[in-house]
Amino acid sequence: MAVWTVRLTRGLSVALGMAVLAALPASADTLRAAMADAYRNSALLEQNRYLLRLRDEGVNQAIAALLPTLGFVASTSRDLVADTTTTTARLVAEATLYAGGSRRNAVRGAEETLNAARAQLVTLEAQVLGDAVTAYLEVWQSAQVVAVREANVRVVTEQLRAARDRFEVGEATRTDVAQAEAQLASARSNLAAAQGTYDIARELFNLAVGRYPGTLSGPGAMPVLPTSEEEAARLARQEHPAIRALQHEVAAAEFAVVQARGAMLPSLSMELSRSETFVAPNPAFEGNGASLSLTLSQPIYRGGQLGSLERQALAQAESVRAGLNRQVQVNLQLLGNAYARLRIATAQLQASEQRIAAAQLAFDGIREEAALGARTTLDVLDAEQTLLEARISRIEAQAGLYGAAYAILGAAGLLGVEKLDLPVPEYDVAAYGAAFAGGQLRLNSPQGERLDTLLKAIGRE
């Protein structure tokens, strides 16, 4: 066998071995770990968890509007003519007995808004996990492409050396050498582009996951998909957290309509007060008093404001209903796209396996023919390029297959910490509201435990 053939065979064997090693799991940086870290490190989720607390407080404030209030009022005045000072202290309790149902409906609306915000947070969590999947697959794909490109550079380098050796002994022409040199320059250029793509993918990974990737072990087993496309469509229409969020928003908007209508009805309030009056320097005028009053009010004319508020609430309700219908369409469209991508990636993966087998066979045959002088260096380079493209197409098909599978889970509302059993504690969307339910601190919460400690310290347990 000619010297250049021996070198080419040795270089190809080493390059293929390196490419295979690059594709094997090398560390524990798995896709599941990346998703868990993305969930744990996401500043976007942290921001929206605090925004969720605003909705919890909205419920507390709406409940507070139903409860009586107790206040203390003190005033003092100086009569410059009589040279006396009068001080009055009043304890006032107020309660709204009837307000046309507007306040109770405000509570119901606030609760539905809170439930919508909780579902929206779950939707956002799925988005964060989906971004982590995308970032992981891009790093994984680009790393494998870099390994294949590096192997290609090594192989083409051996081909160039072989071409030069053959040229020196008169078995090749200057054209063969120039073709190998051009192919090597092209391979180095493609490697530089692949390395740049890998660097960009690492930055995207850092943004999505909250850290830079190590050596990835690969996406692992395919996720469990719905039993059928019809079942996935049902989940996308009915169970998706974005759908649940909008359903709660529809309910909140309907309560807002009833609340606006209740503002047109009469309201009844009660006030109970207890007062003490002190007059200096004439204590004879001092005294105390108590009073109970009921107040009935009825709006008669407000320049069309109440009617406008009702129409505004009705328009908002219809707008949210339309948004719900639109979200169903979007979910089904995303689901259909994901299943189409899955079928495409599956077909591409099967075709790429066949293409690799055929390209490998052709490359081996052309290489042997070139060793016998029946093929040119350009033929060998073309065959090697075809094999390279086949391997890269398989890498892309594999990444596309995993990406489509997780996109199906996302569109069906199944992309979540609990559903994927990720190794990270799931955020409890109800914990904050339970700790401060109805404006009263629960003593079995961490906040309540701190309050209990404080009460013991001051002797008011």
Report the alpha-carbon distance of residue 100 to residue 297 in Å, rounded. Answer: 11
Mind spelling out the 3-state secondary structure of 174-212?
A: HHHHHHHHHHHHHHHHHHHHHHHHHHHHHHHHHHHHCCC
Residue 424 token pair: 């990270």
172 vs 363, higher pLDDT:
363
- Torsion region of 447: left, alpha or beta (phi above 0 gives left; psi -120 to 50 gives alpha): alpha
Predicted confidence at residue 136, as pLDDT, reads: 97
Residue appearing with tokens 């077909």: 347
Please check whether residue 168 is in contact with residue 2, taking contact to mean a CB–CB distance below 8 angstroms: no
Secondary structure (DSSP) of 117-164: HHHHHHHHHHHHHHHHHHHHHHHHHHHHHHHHHHHHHHHHHHHHHHHH
Cα→Cα distances 140→3, 194, 207, 218, 459, Å: 37, 12, 16, 7, 62
> The domain 3-429 is classified under which CATH number: 1.10.3210.10, 1.20.1600.10, 3.30.1540.20, 3.40.50.150?
1.20.1600.10
Alpha carbons 390 and 148: distance in angstroms, whole number: 11
Alpha carbon dihedral 16, 5, 179, 148, in 10-degree steps, equals 0
CA 33 to chain centre: 16
Average pLDDT of the segment spanning 149-169: 85
Q: In this structure, which amino acid lies at residue 221?
A: A
Query: 221-247 burial, b if ≥16 CB within 10 A, otherwise e?
Result: eebebbeebeebbebbbeebbbbbbbb
Percent of the chain with pLDDT over 70: 88
Among 245, 257, 251, 247, residue whose Cα is nearest residue 315: 257
| pLDDT band with cut points at 50, 70 and 90 for residue 451 | very low
pLDDT in tens, 249-294: 999 999 999 999 999 999 999 999 999 988 888 776 678 889 999 9
The two three-digit tokens of residue 270, written as one number: 């009660």
pLDDT in tens, 52-80: 999 999 999 999 888 999 999 999 999 88
The distance in angstroms from the start CA to the end CA of the chain is 95
Is the dihedral angle over the CA atoms 202, 205, 206, 207 positive or is it negative? Answer: positive
Tell me what pLDDT residue 284 has: 67
Q: How many residues does the chain have?
A: 461
pLDDT tens column, 377-408: 778 778 888 888 889 999 999 999 999 999 99
Residue ranges per domain, the chain?
Answer: 3-429, 434-461
Count Cβ atoms below 10 Å from residue 445 Cβ, excluding itself: 16
The predicted structure's pLDDT at residue 285: 67
H or E segment and range at residue 446? helix 446-457
Report the alpha-carbon distance of residue 324 to residue 199 in Å, rounded: 40
Helix axes 305-371, 229-238, angle to 10 degrees: 150
Report whether 243 contacts 328 (CB < 8 A): yes
Half-sphere exposure of 344 (CA within 13 A, CB side): 12
Confirm if 259 and 314 have CB atoms less than 8 A apart: no
Token pair recorded at residue 141: 């794909």
Name residue 295's beta-bridge partners: 269
Please provide the average confidence, as pLDDT, over all residues in the chain: 86
**Residue 24 and residue 349: Cα distance in Å, rounded?**
18
Contact 234, 119 (CB under 8 A): no
Q: What are the tokens at 137?
A: 């697959």
Predicted confidence band of residue 18 (pLDDT cuts 50, 70, 90): very low
Given phi > 0 = left and psi -120 to 50 = alpha, else beta, which region is 218? left
